[in-house]
Amino acid sequence: MRKSRHSGCGRQAGFTLVELGVSLVLMGVLALAFVAYWRMSAQEKATVADRDLLAVTERAVVGFAHARFRLPCPARDQAGDEDCTGGRQVGFLPWRTLGVADARAGTLMYGAYRAPRADQPWLDMDLAQALDRLRPAFTVGLPPVLPATPLALNPPNANLLDFCYALTLASNAPADGSALGVVDANADASRRAVAFTVAAAGLLDADGDGNPFDGRQASASSAFPTFDAANRPLSGGYDDRVLAVPFNALFAQMQCGQALSAVSHSHVNAATAAASLQQALVDYKRQLEIAALLAGAGVASATAGVLSASAGLASAVAASANAVAFTILTYGSAAGVMAPAVAAVVSNTAAVAASAGTLALSVVAKQEADRRVTEVVPLVTDSATLATAIDADARTADNLGF
């Protein structure tokens, strides 16, 4: 019996629906894992790239401040040209003004601390304006008087000292919600002022509101210049990266401490001390001149005393002669009047001697007073020259900056 030609053929192999479903699930899991890995990798790369860009930007801003004695103003658009009109505090990074050669720099948000004081320039804290702020309290004229209004340079000359001084003023200023600040990611969410901020939007619009920036950056403006602090952690609704430079950090980067201390304190203190010494010598000279005048008056008084005593002696001698004549006329019966007359002569002779001694002492005192006046005159002249030179050097240091 022959076998059927089809009897030896087996079933055709293939995926069952279960196997196909499992395969699709595995492929989906792998796809999700790949997407998650890609997203994490992309975010990590973006984080590194943004961190590097923010570091480059910080160096550019600090370099700009070194060269221009101010911070750059924010740009109004991504073209990157600074716009200092209208007191703009928040805008785009002025990358073109800064010379940051990175296409991504135009997307960065930038804020600068600006708190102008047009009525009192020496208290101005607009860090985006170069201004002659540092006005040390130089002495004015003689006697030295600290003016109610600190002296400005004439002509005014803004330099790095003035920028450093503005940083000092801003760091000590009371809280001002209308000036640039950041909100810390701590329990009380405290707000603190900073010199400048730069923010980079995350890879994705994490909060999904259509604005690439999240958190406080999404609503930051010149009217409400508040950013999130750099310590705000990333989350499902926040993936911005913020660089916030405090006043003290910028003060240190600019190396302000030594120069500002020397020019605003040490040099001025030396100038003030020199002016005070010069005035003290002027006063001392006047006192010596008064002493010389008094000594001259003493000589005149002693001379008058000698003359008065001499006149008294002459009168006593005359009285004695009268007494002798009277005694002779009375044949000695009035000899008693001789004793008082002789005593008067002796007394007036002693008065003449005492007055002569006083006159001699007065003449010596007058000569000593005149000598002291003569000696102090060149000291007054030299101290005035020295005070003028120190004052000029202190003003030059303020003018040149560092």
d(CA 270, CA 273): 5
- 69, part of any domain: no
249 and 342 in a single domain? The answer is no
Q: Enter the pTM of the model.
A: 0.62
How many domains, the chain? Answer: 2
- Do 278 and 339 share a domain, yes or no? yes
**Burial (0-12, 13-18, 19+ Cβ within 10 Å), 299:** buried
pLDDT at 99: 93
Residues pairing with 75 in the sheet: 82, 92
Q: Does residue 63 form part of some domain?
A: no
Which tokens go with 145? 């008087």
DSSP 3-state of 91: strand
Q: Is the pLDDT of residue 286 over 60?
A: yes
Residues 233 and 264 in one domain: no
The C-alpha atoms of residue 324 and residue 374 are separated, in whole angstroms, by: 55
Of the ranges 64-73, 76-85, 181-190, which one carries the lowest mean pLDDT score? 181-190
- Same domain as 248, residue 311: no
Mean pLDDT value across residues 321-332: 56
What value does the mean pLDDT take over residues 64-73? 95
CA-to-CA distance for 180 and 361, rounded, in angstroms? 78
Compute the distance between CA of residue 162 and CA of residue 402 in angstroms, rounded to an integer: 10
Q: Are residues 238 and 271 in the same domain?
A: no
Among residues 179, 69, 166, which one has the least CA distance to residue 114?
Answer: 179
- Which of 86-90, 233-237, 295-299 is least confident? 295-299
Q: Where are the alpha helices (DSSP H) in 188-329?
A: 247-253, 256-261, 267-329
The arithmetic mean of pLDDT across residues 296-319, rounded, is 67
Answer for the pair 213, 108: CB distance below 8 angstroms, yes or no: no
Q: Averaged over 388-392, what is the pLDDT?
A: 70
Q: Which residue has the tokens 């000695």?
A: 332
Is 8 among the domain residues?
Answer: no
pLDDT tens per residue, range 123-180? 899 999 999 887 765 544 444 444 444 555 555 678 888 899 999 999 999 999 999 9
Alpha-carbon span 373 to 287, nearest angstrom = 9
Helix (H, G, I), strand (E, B) or coil at 82: strand
Q: Are 146 and 114 in contact (CB under 8 A)?
A: no
Whether residue 250 is found in the same domain as residue 263: no
* Full domain range(s) for residue 299: 258-400
Of 235, 254, 273, the residue at which a domain comes to its end is 254
Percent of the chain with pLDDT over 90: 32
Cis peptide before 143, with omega less than 30 degrees from 0? yes
Q: Does residue 55 lie in a domain region?
A: no
Determine the average pLDDT of the residues in 370-383: 81
Q: Check whether residue 175 and residue 303 sit in a common domain.
A: no
User: Is the previous residue joined to 150 through a cis bond, with omega within 30 degrees of 0?
Assistant: no
Residue 360 lies in a domain: yes
Q: What amino acid occupies position 341?
A: A
- Note whether 151 and 205 are same-domain residues: yes
Cβ neighbours of residue 247 under 8 Å, at least 6 residues apart? 113, 167, 168, 170, 171, 193, 194, 195
Stretch (H or E) spanning 111: strand 109-112
Quick: pLDDT tens for 204-261.
Answer: 777 788 899 999 999 999 999 999 999 898 888 898 999 999 999 999 999 888 767 6
Report residue 9 as tokens.
């053929």
Percent pLDDT > 70 in the chain is: 65
SS3 at position 241? strand
